[in-house]
A and B are shown apart, each in its own frame.
Chain A
Amino acid sequence: MSNDVVLEVKNLKTHFISSKGIAKAVDGVDFVLRKGETLGIVGESGCGKSMTSLSILRLIPSPPGKIVDGEVLLNGKNLVTMPNAELRKIRGNRISMIFQEPMTSLNPVIPVGEQIAEALRLHQGLSKKAAWAKSVEMIGLVGIPSPEKRAKQEPFQLSGGMRQRVMIAMALACTPEVLIADEPTTALDVTIQAQILEIMKDLQRKIGMGIIFITHDLGVVAEMCDQVAVMYAGQIVEHQNTAELFKNPLHPYTQGLIGSLPKLYEDQDELQIIEGTVPSPYDYPEGCRFAERCPFARSICSEKQPDLIQYDEESKVRCWKYTNEWQVSLTKELVTT
């Protein structure tokens, strides 16, 4: 099993240093991604999910951003300390990325087929003709009708859904080992989203890449991912396999998130809510970062930060509730009252 690991992130910390202080956008993130597996990273705005993905390929704006600690291992090789020239050979080749808004990632004045072919010539050393042929093939593969014609068109001539397909074609042209998809369907309508998700699953079966799927949409996670890491305030607070996460969420934050979704199949009078707001990344509380909003919080929660502990073989959670200390603090509180 461990041989299948393609990407391993260890204690990754990305901080942003500005006159306002230090924003700990990513603050000690660990996970592994296996071949052919989809890992979802979910969380609300500002939780650090996008920054985690950008840090993997060292794409964070620097300054002010800086990876201050940790390792990102692609088949054992550390990307954090790698020279730039070497990293460039990995970006778009062995690890590629797609983003929410394809229009900002595509060159507006170059035909899309040309843009895909460029990556193939650069990374795979294909001839101009071979690269073009492969490019057209990829455009066909992502389900765009009449690929020869579309390859010659510029991005503005394509619809939003088609542009996102082109991005996927480009990302997968060099058969990467890892695909990082950062909110790839968030800007799309649901019927188009359904098409894109289907294509991603289909191509994963064919190519076998591992996917890191970043999204705020729990429904999409449930459909796409094998494993889910839930992030809150720069840290992973829970990591489980998908089915288990929705059946039995461990962390109070995950429970709150799932509870706050309107249900499509039942009527509810009122939605469950999570009180309060996310703490500022400049000033995280000393103890558990969720303690202030947590319905279960005890004194220990605001005193000491919990670790991401192994709950069972496949699940991890960062919460005092699942530790021995919790029982101790419980009895202590009973004694004092």
Chain B
Amino acid sequence: MNSLMIDKKPLLKVTELKQHFTLKREVVFQAKQVVKAVDGISFELFPGETLSIVGESGCGKSTTGRSILRLDEPTGGDVLFKDESLTKMSKKELRRVRGDIQVIFQDPYASLNPRRTIRQMLDEAMAIQKVLPPNEREARMLELMKHVGLRPEYLERYPHEFSGGQRQRIGIARALAVNPEIIICDEAVSALDVSIRAQILNLLKKLQKDLNLTFLFISHDLSVVRHISDRVMVMYLGKIVEIADKSSLFNNPLHPYTKALLSAIPVTDQTKREDRIILKGDVPSPLNPPVGCRFNTRCPFATDLCRKEEPKLRELESNHSVACHYAEELSS
């Protein structure tokens, strides 16, 4: 959303965020092994938009979400939420901010306490974040249930009594209970069947409009991303390779990896199918990422330059940045 970006300040500003995990030594005197799960990424999230992070397993998309909230302590960089640095905050201050930034995970069953009813869960969330006095919570709960399309009598039930789609609705209701501004959806619809997934996607879109929410939507599924996003960011081995407006990214991908990723999606309409670019080999281990451009081992266009020098993320067109030495040549 271009208009959004011009006249609004970013709600969340991530600069040079790094998340390195040091592995335990398996052998005495073994050299330290470091997994660079997220390796210096910067982006901004604007109010009211949906920014998606896509990429394959191990690209660092989920780690990015977790680092922002300091669910894993980031090892470098900074995250500003409304000009306040989350990384420098005390634990207590952070807890307050976590009410403004909520997360929905892939497996709602794993994130719901099996021994609490829905009422107890929603009540607890509101109590911890002190959003409403106890006597006003009942009305709010009924409103939340209505928002997410669950019957009010379900408040008395336990998580195991619900289906997967309903559990995801509960996860959403709980996230909404504390009036957040940002919701990080980490593979929130990946475990759901297509017909249920469609219900949840519609719900998320509607809630965004009604409640003016901002989404950071983490997913591996490009067709879902295309449906829900305003902007899309593609990650590969801990780096951003491309970030752009949705239509610009899907209609005119600039990075060879994005092109391959888009062409690899199986589509139901065979007439729309473009020539598939089949990448050779697997994603290299993040323990030992390739020198230079991290995609060079699988890139069909890689040259010596790519094997030596790491390309910087640069804005090639308006609101369309890419990290590739040869983006201009490849796009023409």
Please give the residue numbers on chain A whose beta carbons come within 8 Å of chain B beta carbons, in ascending order.
44-45, 159, 161-162, 189-195, 197-198, 216-223, 243, 246, 256-258, 260-265, 267-274, 277
Contacts and interface: CB of A to CB of B under 8 A. Distances in A.
A220 B266 contact: yes
Given A191-B260, A262-B223, A262-B224, A219 B194 contact: no
Given A264-B223, A268-B227, A194 B195 contact: no
Contacts of A256: 195
Interface in B173-227: 193-199, 201-202, 205, 220, 222-224, 226-227
Q: Is the interface of B mostly helix, strand, loop or mixed?
A: helix
B222 A190 contact: yes
A270 B205 contact: yes
A117 B250 CA distance: 45
A289 to B, nearest CB: 14
B243 to A, nearest CB: 19
Contacts of A220: 266
Contacts of A191: 56, 260-261, 264, 278-279
Interface residues of B, number: 40
Name which of B193, B197, B263 has the most chain A CB atoms within 10 A of its CB.
B193
B282 A273 contact: no
Nearest to A275: B199
Given A191-B279, A219-B223, A222-B269, 5 more contacts: A189-B57, A190-B265, A197-B266, A260-B195, A262-B226
Given A191-B56, A191-B279, A268-B227, A222 B266 contact: yes
B163 interface: yes
Contact of B282 (A192, A261, A269, A274): A192
Given A190-B261, A191-B261, A262-B224, A219 B268 contact: yes
B290 interface: no
B193 A189 contact: no
B193 A265 contact: no
B311 interface: no
B222 to A, nearest CB: 7
A216 B193 CA distance: 8
Contacts of A262: 198, 201, 223-224, 226-228
B165 interface: yes
A195 B193 CA distance: 24
A284 B193 CA distance: 20
Contacts of A246: 268-270
A189 B283 contact: yes
Contacts of B165: 277
A326 B36 CA distance: 63
Given A190-B220, A191-B260, A195-B278, A218 B270 contact: no
Contact of A261 (B194, B264, B272): B194
A44 B264 contact: no
Contacts of A272: 198
Contacts, number: 114
Contact of B194 (A194, A216, A243, A269): A216
Contacts of A264: 222-223, 226, 250, 265, 267, 272
B116 interface: no
A28 to B, nearest CB: 22
B220 A189 contact: yes
Given A190-B265, A191-B279, A264-B222, A270 B193 contact: no
A146 to B, nearest CB: 12
Contacts of A193: 264, 266
B193 to A, nearest CB: 4
Contacts of A263: 223, 226-227
B57 A261 contact: no
Nearest to B228: A262
The 4 lowest CB-CB distance pairs between A and B, nearest first, are A219-B266, A262-B227, A260-B198, A189-B56
B194 A218 contact: yes
B276 interface: yes
Q: Could you say which of B265, B272, B276 has the most chain A C-beta atoms within 10 Å of its C-beta?
A: B265
B282 A159 contact: yes
A190 B261 CA distance: 7
B257 to A, nearest CB: 9
B266 A223 contact: yes
Contacts of B205: 269-270
Nearest to B251: A265
B28 to A, nearest CB: 22
A282 B247 CA distance: 46
B269 A194 contact: no
Contacts of A217: 266
26 contacts: A45-B193, A190-B265, A191-B56, A191-B264, A191-B278, A191-B279, A192-B56, A193-B264, A193-B266, A198-B278, A216-B193, A218-B268, A219-B268, A220-B266, A222-B266, A257-B194, A261-B194, A261-B198, A261-B223, A262-B227, A262-B228, A264-B222, A264-B272, A273-B195, A273-B198, A273-B199
Interface string B225-262: 01110000000000000000001001000000000110
A194 B276 contact: yes
Contacts of B263: 194
Nearest to B276: A194
A192 B265 CA distance: 11
Contacts of B224: 262
B56 A261 contact: no
B202 A270 contact: yes
Contacts of B196: 44, 277
Contact of B264 (A159, A190, A216, A243): A190
A222 B202 contact: no
B282 A265 contact: no
